[in-house]
Structure 1
């Protein structure tokens, strides 16, 4: 079912009441007693981020008439107030008042939102793309050889086919060999797995194919699925997953940004949605290289006026180079991120419950263009996401 929401600019003003706008809030929760709704998307985003930081149930008693503020309720009002004050430090709220029966919050001027750090942008990009690649606990996702890549595992679906899965286990072995080995309850299975990691990519895919099951080989037989999920429950391995993903694909992202900016001098790609759209592209399609001729031709012909037009034509042209079965999927994903809402392409729409994270903010250009070693930053992001915390709040 397509995502059904009516918009007036950046305000939600109608739609199917049961539509889930964020992981914890449906459209009807922002409606007034007469079923009317007018709420700015940045307020929806801020309330969800507050709910995630608070960790408890939050009710929406009322939305202010201009759609920029709301009255929130909770069984733990003191805890909610403390959480709201804390994230106000990130300038998600310009006002937080304790009114005894509820908490009144208000967002800053949506047209003058403060910039965010590169670390926050990368966390957002990681989470949004993981929302396409996985469901449920993103670190527990294990799929079989449905696509010819062997086993695929985790938020970025690292796999044997692209030789991205073995390095994660090598890093885990090096960091904590005892915990790594303990994830495999049968010593012989552990020895077999270690041998598999030394095989060629083609041999690994063939091995995984023999242990794939279910519809289109989309699942993995036991005990192998359980072993991988046991590894995925280890916080240290989760941090390795995040850090390695950002190290590998973050570098490709910065390279892609640099290339596009070189085609249109004077245009800086700094908006969060542009960054996230390109990150999703390098995760799913690797790079723009297969579409460079078409991209450069369109830039010369259309002379894009801003970063949104530049990124849009780039993701469209790269999407057209995908397997015909997946072209609409690729473009729908990327344009959905760029627009901040699910976008239909050829009757194909990819919705994502994490779209609320796609705020209308820019990434500090000095951080984005920084070419120095980002190891410490990436490690920090990895630790934070692995622990279930967030740099956004």
Structure 2
């Protein structure tokens, strides 16, 4: 029976570290040394939280089976082949996305666009983290609010003032510094702090894992939904403009608001002309494809193909973007059913 916790060591600990450090998860960036320390524990908690387990930081039999579903503890630790099979199976599960049962359409739209923006499946997209490579200090969340632009600090400030218990649980001994930085420090000092926890524009441990864990919390996700509400409302307004009523239409318009900022009058006229020529259709898919093509064609030619593949995937309900496969109905519960409010 596998029981790994702080103080454990050996090949099985190293195997867990490699699993958590895999690019599909990015939960651990410490040394792969087979020593179960606080960094490994924090990463295990993040994995358990995302998987809906009791987040105690201990790798017991259930956590082990979820990490390595295609191998028993004995054979996995004993053979490299079994380790490879298990890791591949776990990666497939992680990148497949999570059904959004019971979540609002606003949450589902943000999680879809966030997954595309960050390259991380749900719930990892809500903890998407980028360093100072673009001079913004830190960018964070499903649609990468930036500290440098002043759009990220309000999220962290609200977490500190409204959800202090969550901040304390996630950041532990770092909670006081995090809270002081985002409730009392100036913007300049916030930028200095953000750069100070990075090496080569990469956020270092334990902050990296703590930020990713924060994104799995319902309170953090709810605040991100609230911060994206204006763009969601604009997406609903665009649907009304074009007479579109489906959940998939809202998802497409929301993605346009996030990635492209909207639809110009010139493009609107083109879309309406194409709609008129289309005539009656059985469902909205042909109309959504028109929106996708026309909005992509209005982009800088350098990015047109990228925008087109992204928008057509949403319009058609499935496809591949940046190497990741998407099925909107299965992964995000986004269908051609009529959206609430339309």
SS in 2 for 1:352: strand
Separation (CA, whole Å) in 1 of partners of 2:219 and 2:275: 47
Say whether the 8 Å CA contact 2:131–2:138 is kept in structure 1: yes
2:151 corresponds to 1:164: yes
Name the residue aligned to 2:16.
Answer: none
Separation (CA, whole Å) in 1 of partners of 2:112 and 2:175: 36
The alignment's C-alpha RMSD in Å is: 4.2
SS in 1 for 2:262: coil
2:114 corresponds to 1:139: no
**Pairing 1:190-201 to 2, within 5 Å after superposition:** 190-195=179-184, 198-199=186-187
Say whether the 8 Å CA contact 1:145–1:205 is kept in structure 2: no
Name the residue aligned to 1:364.
Answer: 338
**Pairing 1:265-284 to 2, within 5 Å after superposition:** 269-284=244-259
Structure 2: tracts of 5 or more residues without a match: 1-23, 25-50, 53-61, 67-100
**Pairing 1:1-393 to 2, within 5 Å after superposition:** 120-134=104-118, 135=120, 137-147=124-134, 149-177=136-164, 179-180=166-167, 183=171, 185=174, 187=176, 190-195=179-184, 198-199=186-187, 208=194, 212-214=198-200, 217=201, 219-222=202-205, 224-229=207-212, 231-232=214-215, 234-245=217-228, 247-261=229-243, 269-288=244-263, 291-300=264-273, 303=276, 304-305=278-279, 306=281, 307-342=284-319, 351-355=324-328, 356-357=330-331, 361-364=335-338, 367-369=340-342
Shift of 1:336: 0.7
Separation (CA, whole Å) in 1 of partners of 2:269 and 2:143: 29
**TM-aligned CA distance change 1:331 to 1:359, over 3 Å:** same
Shift of 1:259: 2.6
Say whether the 8 Å CA contact 1:141–1:153 is kept in structure 2: yes
Separation (CA, whole Å) in 2 of partners of 1:204 and 1:151: 10
Q: Deviations over 1:95-116 (max 9, x none)?
A: xxxxxxxxxxxxxxxxxxxxxx
Q: Deviations over 1:71-101 (max 9, x none)?
A: xxxxxxxxxxxxxxxxxxxxxxxxxxxxxxx
Say whether the 8 Å CA contact 1:148–1:205 is kept in structure 2: no
Shift of 1:254: 1.0
Say whether the 8 Å CA contact 2:157–2:179 is kept in structure 1: no
Say whether the 8 Å CA contact 1:273–1:358 is kept in structure 2: no
SS in 2 for 1:363: coil
**TM-aligned CA distance change 1:189 to 1:362, over 3 Å:** closer
Kindly indicate which of the two structures has a greater share of residues assigned to helix.
2
**TM-aligned CA distance change 1:368 to 1:188, over 3 Å:** closer
Number of residue pairs aligned between Structure 1 and Structure 2: 241
**TM-aligned CA distance change 1:342 to 1:350, over 3 Å:** farther
Separation (CA, whole Å) in 1 of partners of 2:304 and 2:193: 30
**TM-aligned CA distance change 1:206 to 1:300, over 3 Å:** farther
Show structure 1 runs of 4+ deviating over 6 A: 203-207
Given the two structures, how large is their TM-score scaled by the length of structure 1? 0.49
Say whether the 8 Å CA contact 1:148–1:161 is kept in structure 2: yes
